[in-house]
Amino acid sequence: MIDSLIHEFDKALRTIFTTAPTHRPMPGENVAEAEMSDAERKHAGALMRINHCGEICAQALYQGQALTSRDPVIKKALEQAAWEETEHLNWTERRIEELGGHKSILNPIFYTGSLAIGVIAGKFGDKWNLGFLAETERQVEGHLERHMAELPEQDRRSREVLEQMKLDEIKHADMATHHGAAALPTPIKQAMKLSSKVMTTAAYYV
Ligand SMILES: [Fe+2]
Ligand SMILES: [Fe+2]
C-alpha cells in the first residue's frame, strides 16, 4: 500500500515537473518555423499551454482509471493510451518552449482534480470507466479541432502536433468503445464540458 502510494506520487511529480519521454518524433519537426507577430506567437503559445494542461489531466485520468480497473485486458489498453498521452505531453511542452511560452502554473491543481475524477470513474466499474474515457477523448477531439481553426494560419508546426494528437485521441475513444464503453448520461457529459471550459479558460492566461 505504502509502496504503491509512493510510486503514484512519484509518477505525479514526474508528470508535472519533468519533461515527458517520447518514442515517436515530434510531429512537424521538419517543418520550418513560421513568421509570426509577437501577438500571434503569444496566442499560439497560450493555446499550446491549454493543450499541455489537457494532457496533464489525461495523464492523471488514466492513472486514476488504471489504478481502479480490474480487468487485465482493459488495464493494458489504458496503459497503451496513457503512453501516447505521455508523448503528447512531450510534444506540447516542446512547442510551448519554441513559442517562448510557459506551462500552466495550475497544472498541479488540475492533475489532482483529474486523478480524483479518474479514481471515481474507475470505482463505477469498467463499462462506465471506459464510457467516461471515450467521452473525454471525443470532447478533446472537438476541442483540438477548434484550436486548429484558432491557431495563426501560418503556424504549421503547432498544427502538425495537434493533427497527430487528434488522430491518437480518436483511436483512444475507439479503443474504449471496442472494450465496451457505456454511453454517459447527458448531464454528466455537460458537467464534463463545463469543467473543461474552466480549465481551458484559466490555462489560456496562467
Ligand atoms: Fe492526448
Ligand atoms: Fe487520448
All domains of the chain, ordered by start, with CATH? 36-205 (1.20.1260.10)
- CA of 141 from ligand 1 middle (Å) equals 9
Note the pLDDT tens digit of each residue in 8-28: 777 777 787 788 888 999 999
Most confident of 3-12, 67-76, 98-107: 98-107
- What's the alpha-carbon Rg for the chain, to the nearest Å? 17
The bound ligand whose nearest atom lies closest to the alpha carbon of 57 is: 1
Average model confidence (pLDDT) across the chain: 89
Contact 155, 109 (CB under 8 A): no
Does residue 83 have a pLDDT over 80?
yes
Phi-psi region of 180 (alpha: psi -120 to 50; beta: other; left: phi over 0): left
CA–CA gap between residue 2 and residue 134 (Å, rounded): 31
CA–CA gap between residue 86 and residue 56 (Å, rounded): 9
The bound ligand whose nearest atom lies closest to the alpha carbon of 85 is: 1
- Which of the residue ranges 14-18, 41-45, 126-130 would you say has the lowest mean pLDDT? 14-18
The bound ligand whose nearest atom lies closest to the alpha carbon of 87 is: 1
Contact 37, 130 (CB under 8 A): no
Q: Tell me the pTM.
A: 0.88
Report pLDDT for 174. 94
Kindly list the protein residues that place their beta carbon closer than 5 angstroms to ligand 1, a single-atom ion.
Answer: 58, 85, 88
Helices (H), 69-185: 72-98, 107-123, 126-150, 156-178
The pLDDT-based confidence of 48 (bands split at 50, 70, 90) is very high
Mean pLDDT of 182-186: 90
Mean pLDDT of 1-6: 72
Report pLDDT for 90. 94
Does residue 6 have a pLDDT over 80?
no
- Which of the residue ranges 43-47, 74-78, 175-179, 198-202 would you say has the lowest mean pLDDT? 74-78
User: The C-alpha cell of 55 is what?
Assistant: 494532457
For the chain, the first-to-last Cα distance in angstroms comes to 35
The bound ligand whose nearest atom lies closest to the alpha carbon of 53 is: 1
For the CA atoms of 52, 151, 190, 84, the dihedral, rounded to the nearest 10 degrees, stands at -40
Does residue 1 have a pLDDT over 70?
no
- CA of 39 from ligand 1 middle (Å) equals 26
Contact 82, 62 (CB under 8 A): yes
Most confident of 43-47, 56-60, 124-128, 200-204: 43-47
